[in-house]
A and B are shown apart, each in its own frame.
Chain A
Amino acid sequence: MTCNKNALRLVPLTVLLGLLLACGTQQSVPISDRSVNVDTQPRAPVEQDGQGLQIKPLQTPGVQELLAQSALAEQAGDLQEATVLMERAMRLQPGNPEILQRMAELNQAAEHYEQALNYAARSYDLGPKVGELCSRNWHTIALSREHLEDHAGAAEARQRASNCAVQPPARY
């Protein structure tokens, strides 16, 4: 008898059935431009992967508020404030894979690729390993590896990203 119990950490599980319309195919992003736009690189492709099995990590309302404030600061171009807000959220829920992935994306935006890679990997370790977050994890890892000149590792990470889309079991 065998059972992988990792997913038990993510309670409650919100299974979103793949009813969303596909938005097109994922496009590779050239790495020549060192300035990173996290909205168009690690995040945008996964929005296209919004179909299939999705498992959302539990967030307290307070953490959600801090995530929202951090996103606003980031949109306003204040990466420092966005990071401070995200660290506040991290202290409330240190093992939350969504927060860890956001930390990865903020580090990537700040061109701290080593940190981006580590945070994305930790998010993946603690995360659902399927769906949108999984895809963001691997896209971030791929992009960071590209910047760190690990092209083979980046290719592997992109492959892993493409495996994140899992169809939910059929329901009768």
Chain B
Amino acid sequence: MSKPRKSSNKTGSRPDAKGGGPHRSKRRSAQRRGRRSAKGKSSTAIQRARQWLVAVLAGLAGLAISGAGVWVWSLQKTVVEQFEQRRWDQPSLVYARPLQLDRGMRLSTAQLVFELQAAGYSSADSASLQPGQFRRRGDSVQAQSRAFVFADGLQPSVAVRVKIAEQRVDALWVAGKPATQFRFDPAEIGAIRGVGVDDRKFVPLQAFPPLLITAIQAVEDRQFKHHFGIDWHGFARAVWVNLRSAKLRQGGSTITQQLVRNMYLSHDRKLLRKLNELIMAVALERHFSKPEILESYLNEVYLGQHSGGAIHGFARASEYYFGRTVASLEPQQLALLVGMVRGASWYNPRSHPQRARTRRDLVLELMHNTGLISAAELAEFKSRPLGVTATPVLGRSQFPAFMDMVRRQLQHDYQAEDLQRDGLRVLTTLDPYQQHRAEQAVINTLPKVERSLGTSQLQAGVVVVDPQTGDLLALVGDRQPDRRGFNRALDARRQIGSIIKPFIYLQAWSIASHYTLVSRLDDQPISIKTDDNKIWQPQNYDLRSHGEVSLLSALLQSYNQATVRLGLQLGLSEVAGLLQRLGLLEHNARLHPSLFLGALDATPLQVAAAYQPLAADGYQTELSAVRNVLSGEQSLRSGYPVRIRQLLDTAPVALLQYALTLVSSEGTGRGLTATLGPGRAIASKTGTSNDKRDSWFVGFDEETLAVVWIGRDDNTPAAVTGANAALPVWAALFAGQGMQDIDVEALPGLYWYWVDQRNGLLSSEACPQARVLPFIARSEPTEWSDCS
């Protein structure tokens, strides 16, 4: 190593070897001064440069610190403001009508089990049933209902036993005591959610099981109660592992960090994102309490995906995987959900049951290690199966036609935004069993009809209602009922054909006492000059005329010529007035006599609405798919009460009901007897449009009214009639259901007389053609037949 050279001056410049004398000395001196001066200038410049450098560095540092401060402040502001204003966007949940049991009511064991399964109940063999489980032993069914808030209040979870005998509820026990009635919690049938709104059900912290609250901390963040958003031990461990592996792999995230990540940040593994996460987690902890943070976490955490969107929060996940409320979950089920926090798709118990079980058991061991469960409990819980339901009851609705109706009805009273985000609970009128029956009737019958008629491409629309309350029980809008798209039950406006005829006869019986079942009509060819100077000559279906017939025969056989003559007697505008009141005809419609034969277009829903008063003694009630809407706070937001209005006189309607029961046994609807058996009193009417494009069948008993339409979407001839296409579908819907026949002898406002069918006069019971028929008071014949 060389020595440093010594220097006489501090700058290290060498003295000049030449020179001497005073001038020289002066010069030297001047040179010296000059050099000194140059040296000084150089030194000052360096110093200045240094100062500038320091100042710039200080400025940059200041800027950096200020920037960092602004950054931190901005992140903190964001996290605090957004957390304070956080709003749990929740879809509105839509429920079927609850199964209401009444001792003595008609119900088969199979139907009861179907209803329970439709509501997400699972079969269990265990002696002690959990909420949402049932057990069948022969004709006895035990179940543990789930708590549910109805419009009339909370109904807690309770043990129920139902004994069925001879297709009826023979006995009922609720909470071990004999009971007279019970209402099960209803099936969830769908959700109304906006684009980007995840599937979530908000639950307050105190409503979560304590074991879940402790288990999630034991597994995800044991220091949660003590840290300020960051667990340095966990963080340091993660950093060490990550440094060694040169990649960010291990997470040391606290619950607070996870919440921040879920709510505000992406899930990528970049350092900047991690830094933001740390800052925001600390900010969250500084401004909010531990319970607030934990509550948000439990409602926010991602726990899976279904066709309708992402599932967030333990409450919704509990319903999705187990069909139960989170409060009712068993410890091993809680452990599974807690384990899924680490990777909901990876540990999905439906697609990866073994992986999920391993993870669940690991969580159970952690719970045991932290003293949450005993060793015996650990062994017991590990031995239990995963217990997830085979098919999720949530997600995309299985009943698109009905859900379509629900949306349409609600949009009158609710903004789409409210429905999609406010977490409303919509209690509808859907009867899962009737819906199933209607769907199966279409699916199974339509191919047979196509084969027997040599036709194809048939489509269907079905509407089933409770005529007394206006409840829409079932809707089918497509021959593939789960297919979304054109909803024929609501939107297929098709010519209704002869199903209009009952209204013509009703008009006759309503306005004049000289019209009775035995009044005479001419079923003869008729020519009518219409307003546009054209001649209209209606034909009968069989292209024959039948001469003088009774009103009853004309209706039973659906004679066109007799019906047109009756309509002309009554007046086109008068008949149109009735059709307008029933919602079948628009007020500004052009009237043509072909109206008497059903030359007007209507949807299956409109037809059901028009027939409803006929099945309810003349009282009209609006058809409704929704009965109550409850807010997330469980209070009633709006109700759709059953409102009735007397639209038609009771006695003429009763007379028509009777006549329509004869349509099913003797008239164009007699094909029903092949399926339902003879001697039934079911009211019905067939309808066929021109060129056999549309097939209609409407029928009702004491409890249910159903309308079936069959035809092609392109309205081309399809070889269908009311009797050969819609009737078999209707019959399949009700076959084996144990219908409630109309009690014809108790029809209100009617008086019964023996009459001679040949002339419509009073007769003795012994007359050869005598038949007992009902009459409206003071419309009965007064003359007697000689019976000859």
Contacts and interface: CB of A to CB of B under 8 A. Distances in A.
Interface stretch (B385-393, B413-421, B731-739, B741-749): B741-749
A3 interface: yes
Contact of B102 (A2, A62, A95, A122): A62
Given A81-B152, A88-B183, A92-B102, A9 B746 contact: yes
Given A9-B743, A64-B180, A80-B636, A92 B105 contact: yes
Contacts of B103: 60-62
A94 interface: yes
Contacts of A8: 743, 745-746
A122 B753 CA distance: 26
Given A3-B752, A4-B751, A80-B636, A118 B644 contact: yes
B753 A2 contact: yes
A63 B151 CA distance: 18
Contacts of B468: 90, 94-95
B153 to A, nearest CB: 7
A126 interface: yes
B619 interface: yes
Interface in B710-755: 743, 745-754
Nearest to A84: B152
A6 interface: yes
B617 interface: yes
A134 interface: no
A103 B153 CA distance: 20
B181 A122 contact: no
Interface in B623-673: 627-628, 636, 639, 641-646, 650
Interface residues of A, number: 37
Contacts of B152: 73, 81, 84-85, 88
A88 B469 contact: no
Nearest to A100: B644
B151 A3 contact: no
A121 interface: yes
B183 A91 contact: no
B151 A84 contact: yes
B469 A84 contact: no
Interface residues of B, number: 44
Contacts of B471: 91
Given A8-B745, A95-B468, A121 B646 contact: yes
Contacts of B780: 2
B703 interface: yes
Contact of A119 (B466, B636, B639, B644): B644
A74 interface: no
A65 B745 contact: no
Nearest to A85: B152
Nearest to B774: A5
A29 interface: no
A88 to B, nearest CB: 6
Interface in A1-38: 1-6, 8-9
B746 A94 contact: no
B466 A125 contact: no
A125 B662 CA distance: 23
A162 interface: no
B754 to A, nearest CB: 7
B352 to A, nearest CB: 44
B170 interface: no
B645 A118 contact: yes
Interface in A60-114: 60-66, 73, 80-81, 83-85, 87-88, 90-92, 94-95, 103, 114
Nearest to A129: B748
A60 B241 CA distance: 72
A115 interface: yes
Contact of A122 (B151, B646, B749): B646
A94 B105 contact: no
B327 to A, nearest CB: 25
Contacts of A90: 468-469, 642
Contacts of A115: 643-644
Nearest to B777: A4
Contacts of A61: 103-104, 180-181
Given A62-B102, A65-B181, A115-B644, A122 B745 contact: no
Nearest to A127: B748
A119 B469 CA distance: 12
Contacts of B153: 81
Interface string A123-147: 0011000000000000000000000
A83 B641 contact: yes
B702 interface: yes
B100 interface: yes
A80 B639 contact: yes
Nearest to B180: A61
A132 B769 CA distance: 43
Nearest to A6: B748
B745 A88 contact: no
A66 B100 CA distance: 12
A91 B183 CA distance: 12
Contact of A87 (B105, B641, B646, B748): B641
A88 B642 contact: no
A80 B628 CA distance: 12
A62 B641 contact: no
B180 A91 contact: no
Contact of B181 (A4, A66, A84, A103): A66
Interface in B307-364: none
A94 B466 contact: yes
B766 to A, nearest CB: 12
Contacts of A66: 181
B150 to A, nearest CB: 8
A118 B619 contact: yes
Given A80-B639, A81-B152, A118-B619, A92 B100 contact: yes
Nearest to A78: B152
Which of B104, B181, B466, B650 has the largest number of chain A CB atoms within 10 A? B181
A2 B743 contact: no
A87 B646 CA distance: 18
A118 B641 CA distance: 14
Interface in A135-163: none
Given A9-B746, A94-B466, A94-B468, A60 B754 contact: no
A63 B153 CA distance: 18
A122 B703 contact: no
A94 B703 contact: yes
A97 to B, nearest CB: 11
Nearest to B617: A125
Nearest to A103: B642
Contact of B754 (A1, A65, A80, A95): A1
A8 B748 CA distance: 10
Nearest to A9: B746
A118 to B, nearest CB: 5
A31 to B, nearest CB: 23
17 contacts: A3-B752, A5-B747, A6-B746, A60-B102, A60-B105, A60-B180, A62-B105, A65-B181, A84-B639, A87-B627, A90-B642, A92-B102, A92-B181, A118-B619, A119-B644, A125-B650, A125-B748
Interface of A: 1-6, 8-9, 60-66, 73, 80-81, 83-85, 87-88, 90-92, 94-95, 103, 114-115, 118-119, 121-122, 125-126
Interface of B: 100-105, 150-153, 180-181, 183, 466, 468-469, 471, 617, 619, 627-628, 636, 639, 641-646, 650, 702-703, 743, 745-754, 780
Of all A-B residue pairs in the complex, the 9 with the closest CB atoms, nearest first, are A62-B181, A94-B468, A61-B180, A62-B102, A9-B746, A84-B152, A62-B180, A5-B745, A8-B746
Given A60-B105, A81-B151, A81-B152, 4 more contacts: A87-B627, A90-B642, A94-B468, A126-B748
